[in-house]
Structure 1
């Protein structure tokens, strides 16, 4: 059974508490809060994975630390604020979770943010693609 971790549930609830007009503003705020990618990935894009579902060049990489906690890193262009906002939501919401918690996130989480009428289906599918790739990467790391 899938479960939305508290970090992502809080972000979802933050969106749903706002009226639709303010949700886009919140998404823009998230776009400005995308954490920087560690230098070891910044200079080595081959270590990251392109998210093909995104029209903009979005790259993600996940790590699982010795403590079993996941860190998700993402890059997205500043000129693509919607996509960058989605990447930021996932990076902030996933980082710090256990691998099992990440693998348990429902695949339709992006559709639960109350943004489906505000942004194009293509953008929502981009976020869905980011989540699926992060989960696959974590699955591969934890299986080895």
Structure 2
């Protein structure tokens, strides 16, 4: 699959995130990830008990998905001192929030390769990001079946 075909599988907002990061020089990429970390939405009151921990992440990280009116809503929690996983949450939130469940399910597990994140993020952390997307997709499938 070509990079263009891979990119075409992403919803437009996630395409923008990936293109922006992918075209950025390595020296700016870390700063951009820190900006995404700041964009991780705050967890609404009473949501904490509903989140599922993503054990593959080296830092404690939790995710929860809800479907409402044909839209996917994402909720994340991670320590304030964990900028990498918070950046992943910010990226996924910006790229997938409000999308249809079907659109979310089409996102390739390795979408981050288009952003060339391996230039600044370790393989272990990237596996964590892949696991987060896997949890999101599983929760979307479960919610669709409910």
What is the TM-score of this pair, normalised by structure 2?
0.91
Does the aligned pair in 2 maintain the 1:63–1:72 contact within 8 Å?
A: yes
Does the aligned pair in 1 maintain the 2:19–2:114 contact within 8 Å?
A: no
Q: 1:55 aligns with which of 58, 72, 76?
A: 58
Q: 2:19 aligns with which of 13, 35, 42?
A: 13
Compute the displacement of 1:143 (Å): 1.4
Q: Deviations over 1:42-86 (max 9, x none)?
A: xxx331100111111100000000x21000111111211111101
Q: Does 2:35 match 1:29? A: yes
Compute the displacement of 1:127 (Å): 0.7
In the alignment, the residues of structure 1 paired with residue 79 and residue 112 of structure 2 have an alpha-carbon distance, to the nearest angstrom, of 20
Which residues of structure 2 form unaligned runs of 5+?
none
Does the aligned pair in 2 maintain the 1:35–1:73 contact within 8 Å?
A: yes
In the alignment, the residues of structure 1 paired with residue 114 and residue 140 of structure 2 have an alpha-carbon distance, to the nearest angstrom, of 22
Q: Does 2:110 match 1:108? A: yes
In the alignment, the residues of structure 2 paired with residue 90 and residue 133 of structure 1 have an alpha-carbon distance, to the nearest angstrom, of 12
What is the TM-score of this pair, normalised by structure 1?
0.92
Q: Deviations over 1:76-97 (max 9, x none)?
A: 1121111110111112211110
Compute the displacement of 1:37 (Å): 1.3
Which residues of structure 1 form unaligned runs of 5+?
none
In the alignment, the residues of structure 1 paired with residue 49 and residue 24 of structure 2 have an alpha-carbon distance, to the nearest angstrom, of 39
SS in structure 2 of the partner of residue 37 of structure 1: coil
Aligned residues: CA RMSD: 1.4
Partner of 2:123: 121
Does the aligned pair in 2 maintain the 1:111–1:124 contact within 8 Å?
A: no
Deviating above 2 A after TM superposition, structure 1's stretches of 4 or more consecutive aligned residues are none
